[in-house]
Amino acid sequence: MPKKFEHVFENGITFVFKMDEVDSSLLHIYARHLTGIDDALDLFFDTKPSWNGEFARYENYSDTHGLYWFWLDEQKRIVMVVSCFRL
């Protein structure tokens, strides 16, 4: 059975990345946007999030990339990465 998520622990936070539904050997963010874990982590730690209430997610932006995410469990410091993409 192919795995559905990749878990990465960084700076006391567990990040959950979804695997792609078409090619389960690839991260969704890579298969759809050619971005990777490092791109998402850089955005998370190096930019300030804003809350998007319409979509119930946080959004971080740099000059070149965007990141959508939400807390799966804020007390346990577990983040679900929704998307990471180039602008």
Share of the chain above pLDDT 90, in %: 97
pLDDT score for 1: 67
pLDDT at 19: 96
Average pLDDT over residues 21-27: 93
| Contact (CB, 8 A) for 43 and 60 | yes
Q: What is the tens place of the pLDDT at every residue in 57-74?
A: 999 999 999 999 999 999
pTM to 2 decimal places: 0.93
Rounded to the nearest integer, the mean pLDDT of the chain is 96
Tokens representing 12 are 């006391």
What are the tokens at 34? Answer: 């050619």
Quote the pLDDT of residue 2.
73
- Phi first, then psi, for residue 52 (nearest 5°) are -110, 100
Q: Is residue 8 a contact partner of residue 17, using CB atoms and an 8 Å limit?
A: yes
